[in-house]
Amino acid sequence: MQLTNFAYLGVLAFIVLGTVWLEFVIGARVLRKPKRLILSLIPVFTGLTIWDLYAISERHWWFNENYVTGLTIGVIPIEELLFFIITPTAMLYSFEAVRAVKQWQVGDEK
Amino acid sequence: MTYTQIGILAVGIAIFLDLVVLHTNILKKGIWWISYAIVISFQFITNGLLTGFAIVQYDPAFTIGSNFHSDRPPIFGDGRIFFAPAEDLMFGFAMCLSVVAIWIFLGSKGIQQTPISNTSEKMRNRFKFLR
pLDDT at B105 over 90: yes
Contact B89, B95 (CB under 8 A): no
Delimit the domains of chain B by residue range.
3-130
Measured in angstroms, the CA of B117 and the nearest CA of chain A are apart by 5
pTM value is 0.96
Measured in angstroms, the CA of A75 and the nearest CA of chain B are apart by 14
Dump pLDDT digits (tens) for A75-91. Answer: 999 999 999 999 999 99
Does residue A106 sit within a domain? no
B61 pLDDT band (50/70/90 cuts)?
Answer: very high
Contact A52, A80 (CB under 8 A): yes
Domain count for chain A: 1
Q: CB under 8 Å to B121, separation ≥6 — which residues?
A: none
B127 pLDDT band (50/70/90 cuts)?
Answer: confident
Look up residue B117 and give its DSSP letter. Answer: P
pLDDT at B92 over 80: yes
Q: CB under 8 Å to B64, separation ≥6 — which residues?
A: B4, B79, B85, B86, B87
CB-based contact B117 A44, cutoff 8 Å: no
CA distance B24 to B112: 17
Considering only the beta carbons, identify the residue of A28, A40, A99 that sits closest to B106. A40
**Range(s) of the domain holding residue A44:** 3-101
Residues 66-85 of B with CB under 8 A from A: none
CB-based contact B107 A18, cutoff 8 Å: no
Dump pLDDT digits (tens) for A47-68. Answer: 999 999 999 999 999 999 999 9
CB-based contact B50 A102, cutoff 8 Å: no
Which one-letter amino acid corresponds to residue A108? D
Q: CB under 8 Å to B80, separation ≥6 — which residues?
A: B51, B65, B73, B74, B86
pLDDT at B130 over 80: no
pLDDT of residue A109: 87
Dump pLDDT digits (tens) for A7-35. Answer: 999 999 999 999 999 999 999 999 999 99
Q: Cα B78 to chain center, whole Å?
A: 21
What residue in B sits closest to A109 (Cα-Cα)?
B113
CB-based contact A26 B34, cutoff 8 Å: no
Pick among B50, B57, B89, B99 to test the A interface (most A CBs inside 10 A)? B99
B26 pLDDT band (50/70/90 cuts)?
Answer: very high
Angle (CA) A30 A80 B54, round 5°: 120
ipTM over 0.90: yes
